[in-house]
Structure 1
Amino acid sequence: MTELKHELVRRQLRDLAQQGLRPGDSLPGERSLEKQFEVSRITIRRAISDLVGEGVLVRVKGKGTFVSHGRVRSDLHLASFHEDMRAAGFTPSTRVVTAQLELPPDDAAAHLALGPQDPAILVRRLRLANNAPVSVDECWMPPSLVPDLLAQDLKQSLYGHLAAAGHPVLRVEQTVEAAAASEPIAELLDITVGSPVLLFHRRSFTGGDQTIPIEYSISTYRSDRYQLSMRLAQDRAASSTAT
């Protein structure tokens, strides 16, 4: 019976979020929902947790639970954040957090072929979709190739600026892993410290032979507002020889 109540409350809360409320609206308090659905607080909390996991609702630290603006679904491909968001039907925007010369971390320095005391251009930005925080991007680039980058409008696509400087991003090596949000990242993304996030490490290349390193980036995405989509096809040649 408890399981049936939980499923019923979850469906009713989903209907409320998707039909009775709008994205960004606050969900009624737990006590109010208890009275409305005549169930225990445990049942309410379980249903809410399920809907947060599905991306229907989102918890905001110290504020409450709100109707989600929706998850951005992205295919794995070479595109800027702005292109990705527009393709998904969202309006992208950017807030520049840091833009300066700074000594890069070891991985970034190694990729960009910089010495231990060589600074790189650091551009750290908060990326938003429909004004809701989606990711924090930390990008490192070699000053020798883009010396005027800090004078540009960094709210716009960095890839566009790199292309205009004669160094378009032509090849990318990228890894994705699950991680827990650190305190600085959590504050920017408006989530609780330790919340699950997707961590992208990207090494980008330019040049005719696509071997000149142009960017090293670390992007942290809210897992409740971003998901990856992949298409896989079996290699026929490989499958025909497999045993």
Structure 2
Amino acid sequence: MRMKRVWVRDELRRLIDTSPPGALIPSERELSDQLGVSRPTLRAAIEDLAGAGLLVRHQGRGTFTRVRPTSSRVPDPGWPSRVEEFRVEAAGARLGARLEISPATPALTVRRVRISDDHPIAIERISLPAALVPGLEPAVFETGPFHEVLRERYDVSVTTAVQTTEATVTDDGESGLLAVPVHAPALLIERTSKDAGGRVVEYTRSIYRGDRYRVTAQLTFP
């Protein structure tokens, strides 16, 4: 049974390699007939490939080959976005600590979905002290680099940032916004940005689809 599952997985990989990104593969019934294997064996092989990020299963729609990842050294500031949330309220203890402000100080939080090639690729939650950006509108976050707006409109320049990246999986809400199954592989990127005076001007928490985004780093050695 184990060897047959491996053989089926190899056959499915050949199918994936010869299919365009995002293509709908045949149904389990069709594939089990074509390959001459039971549906439980086929389903186990599909689950293996889905876990590896090569296939994506959508309830009621079928199973699709993964969309080719977007490769970038940093998140592309030119991606269009859809604003899902825009609110100002007291920062609270946790966000206040991130922004280095009092918990009672108003903070602006914006949640937006980044779009690449007409597909959702990331969810960004951007938070900053509201006093830095009086009169800021949600439309600012739909197009164009936000840091340019900070610099040109509010004379706030980001000069340094600390960014961390780690593996995670999507929850129910994130899966819905990113159009991926629940617990799909993802990258969690958190960034704290400061101006030249060392003041925290922004904290961003982003969830990137693991099947569509790849981080590339260039290393220089002495």
Identify the TM-score tier after normalising by the shorter chain: 0.7 to 0.9
Matched, 1:199 2:194: no
Task: State the 1:35 CA deviation.
Answer: 0.4
- What is the RMSD computed on CA atoms of the aligned residues? 2.6
Read off the aligned partner of 2:147 and give its amino acid letter. Answer: Y
* Letter in structure 2 aligned against 1:59: R
Corresponding residue number in structure 1 for 2:179: 190
Alpha carbons of 1:49 and 1:32: their partners in 2 closer, same or farther (altered >3 Å)?
A: same
Distance 1:7 1:151, change over 3 A: closer
Give the TM-score of the pair, scaled to structure 1: 0.77
Q: Structure 1 residues 12, 116: closer, same or farther in 2, change over 3 A?
A: same
Q: Name the TM-score, length of structure 2 as normaliser.
A: 0.84
Q: 2:55 aligns with which of 57, 62, 65?
A: 57
Q: Which residue of 2 aligns with 1:41?
A: 39
Q: CA deviation at 1:63?
A: 2.6
**For the Cα contact (< 8 Å) 2:129–2:201, is it kept in 1?**
yes
The aligned residue for residue 163 of structure 1 is 151
Q: 1:116 aligns with which of 103, 120, 137?
A: 103
Please state how far the C-alpha of 1:97 moved relative to its aligned partner.
0.4
The answer as to whether partners of 1:61 and 1:190 remain within 8 angstroms in 2 is no
Q: 1:41 to 1:233 in 2, by over 3 A?
A: farther
| Partner residue of 1:71 out of 69, 72, 85 | 69
Query: Is the partner of 1:25 in helix, strand or coil?
Result: coil
CA distance in 1, matches of 2:59, 2:180: 6
What's the counterpart of residue 221 of structure 1?
A: 208
Q: 1:49 to 1:93 in 2, by over 3 A?
A: farther
CA 1:61/1:162 → structure 2, altered by over 3 Å: closer, same or farther?
A: farther
In structure 1, what is the Cα distance between the partners aligned to 2:22 and 2:92? Answer: 37
The answer on 1:180 being equivalent to 2:130 is: no
How far residue 215 of structure 1 moved from its aligned partner, in angstroms, is 0.5
In the TM superposition, residue 213 of structure 1 has moved relative to its aligned partner by 1.0
Which sections of structure 1, spanning at least 5 residues, go unmatched?
84-91, 237-243
Name 1:89's counterpart in structure 2. Answer: none
Paired-residue identity, %: 34
Q: Which amino acid aligns with 1:192?
A: P
Number of the residue aligned with 1:239: none
Aligned residue for 1:55, secondary structure, equals coil
Secondary structure at 1:82 match in 2: coil
